[in-house]
């Protein structure tokens, strides 16, 4: 979790590695995220919102809205015992809605 100094809001930042291949993937990811957000302007289909993107020391950085805990943090909180089928069904419904 990071704090955006301009808006004083908590955000999530994804920083890519500084390799030629990762630069290509970051460029593709940026185009895809912008396309998806353009197609879902009302934010009704569970598409994570990219707030900004920038370069820092030749690393591509994406700034996203801060969501609830990620899957790893959730698994860690329940001692890695697995995810129940009700939660998996919820994830699947959200993914299918987004698609």
pLDDT band at 75 (very low <50, low <70, confident <90, very high): confident
Torsion sign (Cα): 54, 33, 50, 12: negative
Same domain, 20 and 37: yes
Same domain, 27 and 63: yes
| DSSP labels, 5-49 | TTT--EEEEEE--SSHHHHHHHHHHHHHHHHHHHH-TT--S-PPP
Residue range 27-36, pLDDT digits in tens: 999 999 999 9
54 CB neighbour count, 10 Å cutoff: 10
Same domain, 7 and 48: yes
What's the domain range around 22?
1-67
Number of domains in the chain: 2
Same domain, 80 and 36: no
Distance CA 27, CA 86 (A): 35
Residue range 48-66, pLDDT digits in tens: 899 999 999 999 999 999 9
pTM of the model: 0.76
Mean pLDDT of the chain: 90
pLDDT band at 97 (very low <50, low <70, confident <90, very high): confident
Residue 37 is part of a domain; what is its CATH number?
3.30.200.20
75's tokens: 């698994």
């Amino acid at each position: 979790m990071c704090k955006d100094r301009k808006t004083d809001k908590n955000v999530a930042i994804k920083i890519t590695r500084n390799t030629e291949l990762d630069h290509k993937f970051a460029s593709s990811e940026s185009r895809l995220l912008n396309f998806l957000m353009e197609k879902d302007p009302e934010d009704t289909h569970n598409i994570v919102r990219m707030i900004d993107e920038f370069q820092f020391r030749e690393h591509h950085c994406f700034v996203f809205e801060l969501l609830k805990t990620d899957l790893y943090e959730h698994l860690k909180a329940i001692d890695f015992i697995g995810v129940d089928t009700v939660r998996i069904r919820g994830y699947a419904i959200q993914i299918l809605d987004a698609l």
